[in-house]
Chains A and B, each alone.
Chain A
Amino acid sequence: MGISADPLNLVICGVGGQGNILLSGIVGGAYMKKGYYATIGETFGAAQRGGAVFSAVRVSKKREYGPLIPEGHAHLILGLEPIETMRLLQKYGNPDVVCVTNMYPVIPASVSANRESYPDIEDLKKAITDLSSKAFFIDATSIALELNAPIAMNIVMAGALLGTEQLDLTKDDIIAELKATLPPDRLELNLTALDRGMKAIA
């Protein structure tokens, strides 16, 4: 099984501090080890201060693509936060896009301050489903909180991504990247997080 499109364009989106950049490095690194060109673009502005963050992972057998995806050209959107999936669908969505979304909201300051409102979660699910060819949902933050490690939510989402079987990446591919990237004392926790994410989708 190869990549379903060449270039394959993945968008990973969320909020600063959610571990988006690490996650894109793991997915991109796994593809590179399988002999693909992988390019990752990171958009995060002023580091990790609660703003919207996304990275683009572009995978190809042909050549090295630039780090920015043309509008409307995403094949898969991995959303670490529901309205961030919604935000990136606006820019990169198309009828064939697949979405995998962590439905645990991170409330923006504008909503906290009651200036804007946060959409109803069920309405969000319905809309994301309506705007994609396949939509998967998971409450990855609650799983990470159960593991006493909210920071491991990104790896729960890596597990969810594997669980959807939309990419030709195996659990072993991801584990190899986790081993190469994480400090040894964090590995066991993250392997558990990966498992929990896979099971939650499967």
Chain B
Amino acid sequence: MPNIAKLESGSYHLLQGNEAIARGALEAGVQYAAAYPGTPSTEILTTLASVAKETGIHAEWSSNEKVATEAALAAAYAGLRTISSMKNAGLNVAMDTLQHINLATLGDQGGAMLVVVADDPQSHASGDEEDTRWVAQMANAPLMEPSSFQEAYEMTKYLFDLSEEFNIFCWLRDYTRLAHARGRVQVGQYTRATKKPKYDSTKVFTPYIAPPKHAILVEKMARIRDRFEESPFNSYEGPESPELLIVCCGSGAPCSRDAVEDLNLGDRVGILKLGTLWPFPSRLVVSHIKRASKVLIVEEVDPYVETHTKAAVADAKLADAADILGRGSGHISYVGENNPDRVIAALCQVFGLTYETRDASYEKKIEDIAKPMTASRGLIWCPGCPHRASFFAIGNAVKRDGRNAVVTSDIGCYTMDIFPDGPQVANTLHCMGGGVGEACGFGQLAELGFEQPVIGICGDSTFFHASIAPLVNAIYNKANMTIIVLDNAITAMTGFQPHAGSGRTATQEVTPTVDAESLCRALGCRVEVEDPFDTKATAARVQELLKDDNGVKVLFLRRKCELLRQREEKRHPYKVWVDTEKCRGDKCGFCYRILQCPGIGYDKTTGKAKIQEALCAECGLCADLCPSKAIMKEERA
């Protein structure tokens, strides 16, 4: 990654979408950045934090997205330009704050605020395909969606100016194929921002009393709509009167260009690319639709542009309104992300064309030769991961307990438990904090006759993010449950971001460690700590806790993320090998079938277990657990 503070004005760089946004924010004079890590948004804050010291900006990992948004809002009240970034699911956490901000305004110190939400169409790393664009209307906040890396950078700068001018926060919609993609960006001048924050404490800023403030906001949005109708971020390319007009935004633009080029339809199809999505530029869209006989909407994920386009056409009362095709007409699926092939298929349907991806004989070869020669590759924990041991022990304890314990889980690397290749110990899994929250409900059902023990799982970062409020609720309402905190000392899933319990800030400064264990004790919980690699002691402890009916118990299973440990220690703890004389191979299969560590597998030639040399972390877990004592470990000097 280049140092984004040191890019020369006018120079070109291959930037990730998230880096382009970070550079745009720096050039716009951002002085305060706050976020909680979440794929695919994480790198916006990572990038800003990496240059925070040299640029004099504040960059923080906040406990959660709501806190991040409130922190950024405060800095805007103090007159600074601020950014809060989050993934789609994080928006839900921050929404309570965001819903109010623009009624209250950003104060009177000339501050500005940009909120970036990275959606994840196709759910590459999310629980759903949430489409952020709908909430822009709800919160009365202008929203733009870039369709190139250059636009991501330019829109970021533009939205800071718009935010300051109208005294409301603005929204940038990021998405996986921008956030986690790289392209060419020409950067501009960066000058260090040095504004001193201050607040006029005679002033009050609040959404209360809302109706008159709402009226002002509605008027502001009307003025912004007029501006968006003329915005250069909306552009048309193609013939004067196209047979088909594609109206697209975001990744829909490059996918549409590719599809039109591939099918050689440049003379027949025009592309209207929208960058300003709320307020929706209805007049602009209608003026283009008048010139076309058919319209195809290419966007992701929901029919947002499609709905607004249909409304705009209805409002305009066009005599011979063009057919508007897209999700509603069945030309494009409601599910999944944009890709060139999806647009190619839609265009073929519209124009009655046939399209062959490749010739039929090659296609047959793929069917006959390639398909049988692949194996599925599901997600599973890394070699040496503490979660493998934790779930092994928890699973054993639940089995031995024999009362059908209910296990509610949460978001983190340990989510892989419920995936097809995982051990599937957990029963429910939804969102950040949901593990403890749901356990708290199950844990109160005894009074209605529920007889099963309850385990709620969370991670260390998840604990601080959204598990404390449900924990307090559980204590208050006398729930009977065991919380297991899988404490691996870092926010591992998103790439090792520190959190309140890590003792380091986003800029790697030393900071007080918030001790989750003491916090739970202070709340009155029974607290226990085990090393999950001691699977016997861990399983025995879980079993014993399940029998303890005295309210809320918290068990910390503490062992550092193996990837983090390897980074720090740069060595394997043991030398590990298989004694093939003792190994019973498929008669047992414990290490490769039950533990499922990528570091060890079944070897067809010997019929025994075999260490995968390039992957094995030599953590020794399989050696400790091998029923035949056939896996040997020896401490490294």
Residue numbers in B under 8 Å from A63 (CB-CB) = 257
Report B-chain residues with C-beta under 8 Å of the C-beta of A87.
374
- Interface-centre pick from A17, A28, A109, A119 (highest chain B CB count, 10 A): A109
B371 CB contacts on chain A under 8 angstroms = 90
Shortest A169–chain B CB gap in Å is 14
Q: Residue B600 contacts which of A65, A68, A84, A112 (CB distance < 8 angstroms)?
A: A112
For B350-390 the 0/1 string (1 means CB < 8 A from A) is 00000001110010011001111111111111100000000
Rounded to whole angstroms, the CA-CA distance of A197 and B403 in the bound complex is 57
Decide yes or no whether B69 CB sits under 8 A from chain A: no
Residue of B362, B375, B604 near A110 (CB, 8 A) is B375
Contacting B181 at CB < 8 Å: which of A32, A67, A106? Answer: A67
Of all chain B residues, the one with the shortest Cβ separation from A46 is: B125
B419 to chain A, nearest CB (A): 9
Q: What CA separation (Å) do A153 and B257 show in the bound complex? A: 36
Contact string, A36-59, partner B, CB cutoff 8 A, digits 1/0?
A: 011111111111111110000000
**In the bound complex, do residue B358 and residue A106 qualify as a contact, i.e. CB atoms below 8 Å apart?**
no
**Residue pair B598, A45 in contact (C-beta under 8 Å):** no
> Which residue of B366, B586, B596 contacts A93 across the interface (Cβ within 8 Å)?
B366
In residues 87-120 of chain A, which contact B (Cβ within 8 Å)?
87, 89-90, 93-95, 104, 106-114, 116-119
Docked pose: A189 CA to B164 CA in angstroms: 50
Report if A29 contacts B (CB, 8 A).
yes
A48 to B497, CA, bound (A): 15
Bound-state CA distance A71–B586 (Å) is: 40
> Of all chain A residues, which has the CB nearest B179?
A42
Complex contact A71–B341 (CB within 8 A): yes
Known: A93-B362, A112-B600, A131-B366. A123 touches B373 (CB 8 A): yes
B622 to A: closest C-beta gap in Å = 11
CA distance A63 to B413 in the complex (A): 39
**Does B251 sit within 8 A of A, measured CB to CB?**
yes
Q: How far is the CB of A70 from chain B (nearest CB, A)?
A: 4
Q: A72 touching B373 by the CB < 8 A rule?
A: no
- With A49-B416, A66-B257 known as contacts, the answer to whether A131 contacts B183 (CB < 8 A) is no
A107 vs B614: C-alpha distance when bound (angstroms): 11
For A90, give the chain B residue with the smallest CB separation: B370
- A124 contacts the other chain (CB 8 A): yes
A15 to B177, CA, bound (A): 19
Given contacts A47-B493, A112-B601, A145-B614, contact A86 B177 (CB under 8 A): no
How close is B147's CB to chain A, nearest CB, in angstroms? 9
- Are A83 and B598 in contact (CB-based, < 8 A)? no
Contacts of A67 in B (CB 8 A): 177, 181-183, 251, 254
> If A15-B377, A66-B255, A90-B371 touch, does A150 touch B614 (CB 8 Å cutoff)?
yes
8 Å CB contact of A90 from B184, B366, B378, B613: B366
Which residue from A24, A41, A110 sits with its C-beta under 8 Å from B378? A110
User: Given that A107-B598, A116-B376 are contacting pairs, would A145 and B613 also be in contact in the complex, using a CB cutoff of 8 Å?
Assistant: yes
Residues of A within 8 A of B379 (CB): 45-46, 49-51
Cβ–Cβ contact B357 & A72, under 8 A: yes
Please measure, in the bound complex, the distance between the C-alpha atom of A111 and the C-alpha atom of B371, giving whole angstroms.
16
B374 to A86, Cβ gap below 8 A? yes
Is A190's beta carbon under 8 Å from chain B?
A: no
Asked if A51 and B378 make an inter-chain contact with CB atoms under 8 angstroms apart, the answer reads: yes
A24 to B2 alpha-carbon distance, docked (Å): 15
A114 touches B377 (CB 8 A): no
A72 and B393 alpha carbons, distance in the complex (Å): 46
Check A168 for interface membership: any CB of B closer than 8 A: no
Task: Tell me, rounded to whole Å, the shortest Cβ–Cβ distance linking A30 to chain B.
Answer: 10
**Any B CB within 8 A of the CB of A64:** yes
Question: Out of A65, A107, A127, which one reaches B369, CB within 8 Å?
Answer: A127
CB-contact partner of A104 in B180, B359, B495, B614, under 8 A: B614
Closest B residue to A87 using CB positions: B374
Smallest beta-carbon distance A130→chain B, Å: 6
Please indicate the chain B residues that have their CB under 8 angstroms from the CB of A29 in the complex: 14
**B13 — which chain A residues lie within 8 A by C-beta?**
32
- Most chain A Cβ neighbours within 10 Å, of B14, B149, B258, B344: B14
Q: How far is the CB of A140 from chain B (nearest CB, A)?
A: 10
Contact with B along A136-158 (1 / 0, CB 8 A): 00000100110000100100000
Interface centre among A39, A49, A71, A90 (most CB of B within 10 A): A49
Residues of the B chain whose Cβ atoms lie less than 8 Å from the Cβ of A24: 182
Q: Decide if B182 touches A28 in the complex (CB within 8 Å).
A: yes
Contact, CB under 8 Å: A112 / B592: yes
State whether the Cβ of B39 lies closer than 8 Å to any Cβ in chain A. yes
Q: Which residue of B lies closest to A66 (CB)?
A: B254
Min CB gap A77→B, angstroms: 12
| A46-B421 in contact (CB<8A) | no
A163 CB–B CB distance under 8 Å: no
For residue A159, CB closer than 8 A to chain B, the reply is: no
Interface string of B601-637 (1 = CB under 8 A from A): 1101000000011110000000000000000000000
Q: What 0/1 readout, one digit per residue, does chain B (189-202) give for beta carbons within 8 Å of chain A?
A: 00000000000000
Q: Are the C-beta atoms of B382 and A47 separated by less than 8 Å?
A: no
Whether A49 pairs with B381 at a CB distance below 8 angstroms is yes
B494, CB-defined interface residue at 8 Å: yes
When chains A and B are docked, how far (Å) is the Cα of A97 from the Cα of B447?
A: 66
- B612 contacts across to A, CB distance below 8 A: 106-107
- Contact (Cβ within 8 A) A130 B365: yes
Q: Which residue of chain B has the shortest Cβ distance to A45 in the bound complex?
A: B124
| Chain A: minimal CB distance from B413 (Å) | 7
Contact B258 A70 (CB under 8 A): yes
B12 within 8 A of A: yes
Q: Is the CB of B251 within 8 A of A83?
A: no
B125 close to A45 (CB less than 8 A): yes
Enumerate chain B residues within 8 angstroms of A64, measured Cβ to Cβ.
148-149, 183-184, 254
In the bound complex, what is the Cα–Cα distance between A65 and B340 (angstroms)? 11
Contact partners of B536 in chain A: CB under 8 A: none
- CA A116 to CA B251, docked complex, whole Å: 36
In chain A, what residue has the closest Cβ to B42? A47
Query: Which A residues touch B586, using CB under 8 A?
Result: 114
B589 sits at the interface (CB 8 A): yes
Most chain B beta-carbon contacts within 10 A, residue among A24, A45, A65: A45
Given A70-B340, A119-B373, verify A37-B39 contact (CB < 8 Å): no
Q: Are B124 and A44 in contact (CB under 8 A)?
A: yes
Which residue on chain A has the smallest CB distance to residue B376?
Answer: A110
Q: In whole Å, how far is B561's beta carbon from the nearest beta carbon of chain A?
A: 12
Q: Is the CB of B380 within 8 A of A109?
A: yes
Given the complex, which residues of A lie within 8 Å of B333, measured CB to CB? none
Task: Tell me how far the C-beta of B84 lies from the nearest C-beta in chain A, rounded to whole angstroms.
Answer: 22
Q: Are A108 and B377 in contact (CB under 8 A)?
A: yes
B598 and A112 contact, CB distance less than 8 A? yes
Is there an interface contact between A94 and B358, defined as CB atoms closer than 8 Å?
Answer: yes
Q: Which residue of A lies closest to B371 (CB)?
A: A90
Q: A67-B182, A131-B370 are in contact. List 10 more A-B contacts (CB 8 A).
A: A32-B14, A39-B181, A40-B14, A49-B416, A112-B601, A113-B589, A114-B593, A116-B376, A118-B375, A127-B373
Interface pairs (21), CB distance under 8 Å: A43-B124, A45-B379, A46-B124, A49-B379, A49-B381, A67-B181, A68-B339, A69-B340, A83-B374, A83-B375, A93-B362, A94-B359, A94-B362, A106-B598, A108-B598, A109-B378, A109-B380, A109-B598, A110-B378, A112-B592, A112-B602
For the complex of A and B, list the 9 residue pairs with the smallest distance between their C-beta atoms, beginning with the closest: A66-B254, A112-B601, A72-B357, A72-B358, A67-B181, A40-B182, A108-B377, A112-B592, A70-B340
